[in-house]
């Protein structure tokens, strides 16, 4: 099997699985319980919170655990009102949260053909009514990395009280997520994007913003902003996975794989367009569009050879990609976009095999169109 759909979800590290199982077997008490057994579970959470806080240069009291990055995004967005500013290439959880929020006005920023926000447009759209900005740090479909530090500088220079939230789901554990250096007030993240468990996420909230945040579910505020009994085993597994992801130090290797696949496509396939930019882009994601191709057909042909990719975001099934429309992709490529997303388990030999099957499949599809 060649799994190239890591932007959708990753395989849990063995270390994270072992940490989860051990915690389920040995530390399964309710962390809110007053007895010593419950305190053991609470200590696992404290240990995990301390580690994650250290990774992003935050205080432990600024880290909150949620069920997912989607919940984190919803909590952040639905805590505020007035006028909001966001991009046209956000994750669906951000887009939908804004539709169901208390904001009276949501303004969308322009971007270029690679998805990068137009900073002049940002400056022009700042207003006295603006209270909240939400920007995806690394785009989940095309991989562009926004200049969050510069975006923050522009916003905070205009009005330091404007809340800046970023969705760092595809960033944490892979690129720098130092919240102080980035200048952000809130940051969402998700464990299953860095080889941790699914249905486990988090939200960083700057200390002076915490009082403004509102939960979206009522009752049992164990995490203050997220209701429900805290899942100590999953939290512990998440911290374990993040530590392993960082220690793997695989960024340069992943970049090498990304560059290698770009070259293989260039040398073997005609009429394609590489959507993911070469610069300021996550090497973990490579989005490529092929002319005269139905991405879903190509995806299933690759699947027959146990090569797993995706046609855009796993969270935007059923419609033409908002992201590809937002970057004004040429119509002839719109139906043929395939996202390859890497992990440290992929080898160049895997990519050699993939390009052979990819080339053969594309030629077959084009013959019958």
- Measured between alpha carbons, how far apart are the two ends of the chain, in Å? 29
Residue entry with tokens 């882009």: 281
Task: Tell me how crowded residue 278 is: count the other CB atoms within 10 A of its CB.
Answer: 11
CA 128 vs. chain centroid, Å, equals 30
Active site residue 315: yes
Cα–Cα distances in Å, from 68 out to 61, 73, 202, 228? 19, 9, 7, 13
Task: Please give the Cα distance from 165 to 132 (Å, whole number).
Answer: 8
Q: Pick the catalytic residue: 106, 210, 314, 315?
A: 315
- Dihedral-angle region of residue 12 (phi above 0 means left; psi in -120 to 50 means alpha; beta otherwise): beta
Task: Please give the Cα distance from 125 to 137 (Å, whole number).
Answer: 19
Task: Please give the Cα distance from 237 to 91 (Å, whole number).
Answer: 25
Judge contact between 215 and 226, C-beta under 8 A. yes
Which of these, 101, 42, 106, lies nearest to 76 by C-alpha position?
Answer: 101
Task: Tell me how crowded residue 3 is: count the other CB atoms within 10 A of its CB.
Answer: 19
Q: How many helices (H) and strands (E) does the chain have?
A: 12, 12
Task: Please give the Cα distance from 84 to 131 (Å, whole number).
Answer: 6
Counted residue by residue, the chain has a size of 369
Q: Could you give the 3-state DSSP secondary structure of residue 290?
A: strand
Residues recognised as catalytic: 315
């Amino acid at each position: 099997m060649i799994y190239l759909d890591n932007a959708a979800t990753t395989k849990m590290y063995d270390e994270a699985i072992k940490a989860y199982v051990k915690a389920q077997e040995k530390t399964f008490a309710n962390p809110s319980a007053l007895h010593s057994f419950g305190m053991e579970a609470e200590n696992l959470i404290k240990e995990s919170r301390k580690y994650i806080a250290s990774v992003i240069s935050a205080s432990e009291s600024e880290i909150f655990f949620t069920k997912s990055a989607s919940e984190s995004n919803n909590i952040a967005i639905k805590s505020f009102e007035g006028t909001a500013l966001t991009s046209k290439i956000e994750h669906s959880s951000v887009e939908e949260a804004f539709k169901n929020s208390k904001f009276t006005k949501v303004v969308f920023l322009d971007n270029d053909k690679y998805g990068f926000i137009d900073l002049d447009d940002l400056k022009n759209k700042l207003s006295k009514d603006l209270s909240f900005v939400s920007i995806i740090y690394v785009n989940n479909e095309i991989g562009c990395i926004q200049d969050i530090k510069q975006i923050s500088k522009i916003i905070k220079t205009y009005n330091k009280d404007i809340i800046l939230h970023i969705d760092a789901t595809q960033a944490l554990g892979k690129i720098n997520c130092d919240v102080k250096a980035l200048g952000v007030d809130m940051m969402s993240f998700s464990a299953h994007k860095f080889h941790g468990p699914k249905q486990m996420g988090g939200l960083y909230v700057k200390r002076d913003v915490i009082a403004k945040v509102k939960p979206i579910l009522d009752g049992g505020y164990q995490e203050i902003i997220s209701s429900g009994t805290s899942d100590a085993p999953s939290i512990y597994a998440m911290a374990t996975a993040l530590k392993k992801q960082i220690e793997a130090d695989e960024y340069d290797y992943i970049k090498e794989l990304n560059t290698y696949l770009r070259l293989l496509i260039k040398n073997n396939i005609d009429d394609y367009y590489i959507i993911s930019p070469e610069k300021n882009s996550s090497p973990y994601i490579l989005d490529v569009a092929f002319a005269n191709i139905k991405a879903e057909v190509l995806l299933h042909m690759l699947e027959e050879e146990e090569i797993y990719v995706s046609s855009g975001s796993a969270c935007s099934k059923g419609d033409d990609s908002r992201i590809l429309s937002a970057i004004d992709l040429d119509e002839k490529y719109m139906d043929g976009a395939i996202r390859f997303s890497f992990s440290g388990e992929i080898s160049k030999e895997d990519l050699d095999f993939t390009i052979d099957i990819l080339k053969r499949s594309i030629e077959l599809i084009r013959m019958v169109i």
